[in-house]
Copies of this chain bind each other. A is one copy, B any other.
Amino acid sequence: MLADSLRALVFDVFGTCVDWRGSIIRQCQSLGRTNVDWEAFADEWRTDGYIRGIARIRSGETPYVSSDVLFNKKLDELLPKYGVNGLSEQQSQALATAWRRLDPWPDTVAGMHRLKSRYVLSTLSNGSFATLTQMAKHGGLPWDCIISTELRNTFKPAREAYLLAPTLLDLQPDQVMLVAAHDSDLKGAQKAGLHTALVLRPMEWGPNGQKPPPPDPSFDFVANDFGELATQLGIA
């Protein structure tokens, strides 16, 4: 039975474990600038700074930099674009590290504790090692270890990014399962021989944002949250 042969669960983080959009909007709103469209700001920071930034590196258009650098470069563009000026040094520093203080979804921490009772739990994220470590401390995410694709200067969905997890954990790929909210990520993991669990996060892009497509039948598990995944794996 698959649940018995698995040894480690590795997790996508942004969107899967934490509500990046709500957390970024809340942090931005706390700056007190009521005339700024912080929802659009957060979406653009994520979409053009991170997702497209990674795509440009993977295509060879731009050289490798860590995702922290991508976030900070985009921030420098977005602040003038959205008319955010006159920030204090402390406010600028808070924005520059905002992605280290993302709040978990309501089910994340309790679900992880259940899953941790049987499996090694690790991140497998394009977030930087420092960002993932600080975020865990901020949100109380009980990882056994932090694996970032930064450790190999690569990004998911590169095959080597997925193989980093079984390699570092001294496991076979089919003893590892990726838990993620995104189809493309799970498909990448499948191609590298990992098992897959889709966790649906319909609120990732906000109440009016894009919704996930119907679950692909090739995924080993499909769950509405981490607690449901634990139950499907037979963990009390």
Taking CB atoms and an 8 Å cut-off, the chain A residues in 106-149 that contact chain B are: 120, 122, 128-134, 136-137, 143-146
- As for how many copies of this chain the complex holds, the number is 2
Residue of B nearest to A129 (CB): B168
CB distance from A209 to the nearest CB of B (A): 30
Query: A interface, by DSSP: helix, strand, loop or mixed?
Result: helix
Q: Give chain B residues whose Cβ lies under 8 Å from the Cβ of A128.
A: 170
The proximity string for A residues 94-112 relative to B, scoring 1 for CB distances below 8 Å and 0 otherwise, is 0000000000000000000
A137 and B151 form a contact (CB under 8 A): no
User: Closest CB-CB distance, A117 to chain B, in whole Å?
Assistant: 10
> Does any Cβ of B come within 8 Å of A68's Cβ?
yes
Which residues from chain B contact A171 at a C-beta distance below 8 Å?
A: 130
Q: Give the size category of A's interface with B.
A: 20 to 34
A173 to chain B, nearest CB (A): 14
Q: Does A78 count as interface, using CB distance less than 8 angstroms?
A: no
A223 at the interface (CB under 8 A from B): no
Q: Are B136 and A169 in contact (CB under 8 A)?
A: no
State whether A133 and B169 are in contact (beta carbons under 8 Å apart), knowing that A145-B146, A151-B151 are contacts in the complex: yes
A129-B145, A145-B146 known; A170+B68 contact, CB < 8 A: yes
Contact B133 A120 (CB under 8 A): yes
- Assess whether B120 is in contact with A169, with CB atoms less than 8 Å apart: no
A171, B129: Cα distance in complex, Å: 12
Q: How far is the CA of A68 from the CA of B145 in the complex (A)?
A: 18
Interchain nearest-CB distance for A230 vs B (Å): 17
- Which A residues fall within an 8 A CB radius of B? 68, 120, 122, 128-134, 136-137, 143-146, 151, 168-171
* 9 pairs from A and B in contact (CB 8 Å cutoff): A129-B169, A130-B169, A130-B170, A131-B170, A136-B145, A137-B144, A143-B145, A145-B146, A151-B151
